[in-house]
Structure 1
Amino acid sequence: MQTSEDIIREQQRAVWNQFAPGWKKWDDFTMRFLQPMGDAIIRAIDLNERDTVLDVATGTGEPGLTIASIVTKGSVIGTDLSENMLSIAAEKAQQSGLTNYTTQVADVSKLPFADTSFDAVSCRMGFMFFPDMAQAARELVRVLRPNGRLATSVWAGPADNAWIGLLMGVINRALQLPPPPQGAPGMFRCAQPGIISGLLEAAGLSGVTETVLSGQVIYSSPDEYWTNMNEVAAPVVAALKQTDSETINRIKEEVWALLKEKYGNGELALPFSTLIIQGSK
């Protein structure tokens, strides 16, 4: 019998498989956007060349691929629910000649690895989508070796992430969307400081710290912004599917007016903010 968490996982697998082509199209852009968080995770897990590393929710491969280029005498396994996203990661590894990077479909709540299998674990922008975050934390700590390092990143709140908060704010007002259920998987589920650090401490990590990492994502124009959001942002696509083309055009016009008012006509530098959480076993 399927549990509610099983249903959520199947829905997430279907969504990420559906969006894989869009993520492949925008991969260079998205990886530049997310690189600061990946770099912070890599610094936090303090790699050496012989490390064995697990990169959870690897998506199209980062930061696992960069980690593989550092642990040249070690190895990296990138896991994800989505077979289609992992195929992109595997293709990128092959193109880069990274023979020490492999992919494996896996549920973070039931990792198919023995206890103490990895020297380090990385997870960029995954925790907020895990159906059972406490169980995920326990699994990540379980597969970590003694003195192993773990680092993860999650989004801060919508007010600090105009790149998505501005658009979703307009959509929510226009469509009068109800707020998501308390604690439901979603982008800003882990925005409150202490949520992930508390879970990791409860799972057995020590020396857990949490820092804010902020920056800007650059779009060449409002048109690039709108196209990108409609091809890679699942919450945007899901919401706009519920309405008609006339309403979508009104939403677009309001978004463009807000972008012009706040950020100008040409290149857009939209703020983002994340939390970096790290600890050791």
Structure 2
Amino acid sequence: MMSTLDEGHKPAEIYDAHFVPALFAQWGPVVAAEAQVHEGDRVLDVACGTGALALAVDEITGPAGSVVAVDANPEMLAVARSKPARIEWLEGRAEALPLPDNSFDAVVSQFGFMFFDDKPQALREMVRVLRPGGRLAVAVCDAVENSPGYGAFARLLDRLFGRQVGEAFRAPFSLGDAGRLRELCDEAGIEDAEIVERNGKVRFKSIDALVSTERACVWTLGGVLTDEQFERLLKESRTVLAPFVIKGGVIEFDMPSLIIRARKP
């Protein structure tokens, strides 16, 4: 279980070892495609985390291109910098990017936008650093109800521990509303934004691995549950999440995202 397997590991290390392969690695090529990233492009990844998207973009842009990746969390960046890549890793906030105007062919971001303090300002900053004609793609988790496994897990948390705990888990899904995303784009002055839905999969090696990873996540359930509550959650999850178990005990289900797509005039 996570409580023993990863004891002493930092949240960024747990994120990179467990969430990236289970959820986030698959999205790098998808978001890059929505931003029409090509070989030779100069690309910025905003809220890069431990580098899943930046690494995917770096593969596409190749030696003729360049990738800059920004994150506000120094622990995330420390993990990212340990990876062999030509990427320039920078510490900074999305609302005040430490970069010049009109300097990137594409700006991308995956699964960080919902946590930004000032979302319209972050969008303005992303557009500011784009060259004229540059492309923007920002991915967020769709509503938790549209992910069958996570929806069932959220309802289980509500039932066992009350709505407050369930809402803590739902935090990453808070922008899963195309209408709300359009409003944020309007506030940022992005008039031609499109919101597209793309589907991905959540895939953990077991139900226990999924529950243990969620418990360890500082952005959702980290520090919320006692050991006794965790054991109860683990036991109940084995029943509630059983419909999503496939061959070998692996748990797999859909997790769609919404992607803001725009081009700078």
Q: TM-score range by the shorter chain?
A: 0.7 to 0.9
**1:79 pairs with 2:86:** no
Equivalent of residue 48 in structure 1, options 18, 38, 59: 38
Q: Work out whether residues 27 and 200 of structure 2, in 8 Å CA contact, stay in contact via their aligned partners in 1.
A: no
SS in 2 for 1:20: helix
* One-letter amino acid matched to 2:21: F
SS in 2 for 1:26: helix
Distance (whole Å) between structure 2 residues aligned to residue 225 and residue 179 of structure 1: 17
Q: 1:201 to 1:118 in 2, by over 3 A?
A: farther
Distance (whole Å) between structure 1 residues aligned to residue 35 and residue 240 of structure 2: 40
- May I ask how many residue pairs the two structures share in their alignment? 251
Distance (whole Å) between structure 2 residues aligned to residue 177 and residue 195 of structure 1: 23
Name 1:263's counterpart in structure 2.
244
Distance (whole Å) between structure 2 residues aligned to residue 28 and residue 251 of structure 1: 23
Name 1:65's counterpart in structure 2.
55
Distance (whole Å) between structure 1 residues aligned to residue 70 and residue 60 of structure 2: 18
What is the deviation of 1:34? Answer: 2.2
SS in 2 for 1:121: strand
Between the two proteins, what is the percent identity of the paired residues? Answer: 29
Distance (whole Å) between structure 1 residues aligned to residue 259 and residue 27 of structure 2: 7
Name 2:103's counterpart in structure 1.
117
Distance (whole Å) between structure 2 residues aligned to residue 188 and residue 91 of structure 1: 29
Matches within 5 A, 1:220-239: 220-232=205-217, 234-239=219-224
What is the deviation of 1:76? Answer: 0.9
Distance (whole Å) between structure 1 residues aligned to residue 26 and residue 218 of structure 2: 19
SS in 2 for 1:234: coil
Name 2:3's counterpart in structure 1.
none
Q: 1:81 to 1:130 in 2, by over 3 A?
A: same
Distance (whole Å) between structure 1 residues aligned to residue 182 and residue 41 of structure 2: 24
What is the deviation of 1:128? Answer: 0.4
Equivalent of residue 236 in structure 2, options 248, 254, 261: 254
Equivalent of residue 14 in structure 2, options 22, 27, 37: 22
Equivalent of residue 140 in structure 1, options 102, 122, 126: 126
Q: Work out whether residues 50 and 74 of structure 1, in 8 Å CA contact, stay in contact via their aligned partners in 2.
A: yes
Q: Work out whether residues 165 and 224 of structure 2, in 8 Å CA contact, stay in contact via their aligned partners in 1.
A: no
* One-letter amino acid matched to 1:219: F
Which blocks of at least 5 consecutive residues in structure 2 are unaligned? 1-8
Matches within 5 A, 1:153-192: 153-178=139-164, 186-192=171-177
What is the deviation of 1:27? Answer: 6.0
Distance (whole Å) between structure 2 residues aligned to residue 197 and residue 67 of structure 1: 26
Name 2:255's counterpart in structure 1.
272
Q: 1:168 to 1:18 in 2, by over 3 A?
A: farther
Which blocks of at least 5 consecutive residues in structure 1 are unaligned? 1-16
Distance (whole Å) between structure 2 residues aligned to residue 225 and residue 161 of structure 1: 14
Cα-Cα RMSD? 2.5
Q: Work out whether residues 165 and 221 of structure 2, in 8 Å CA contact, stay in contact via their aligned partners in 1.
A: no
* One-letter amino acid matched to 2:255: F
Equivalent of residue 93 in structure 2, options 107, 119, 122: 107
Question: Which region of structure 1 is more displaced relative to structure 2, 54-63 or 198-207?
Answer: 198-207
TM-score by length of 2: 0.84
Q: 1:36 to 1:80 in 2, by over 3 A?
A: same
Distance (whole Å) between structure 1 residues aligned to residue 262 and residue 230 of structure 2: 44
Q: Work out whether residues 107 and 135 of structure 2, in 8 Å CA contact, stay in contact via their aligned partners in 1.
A: yes
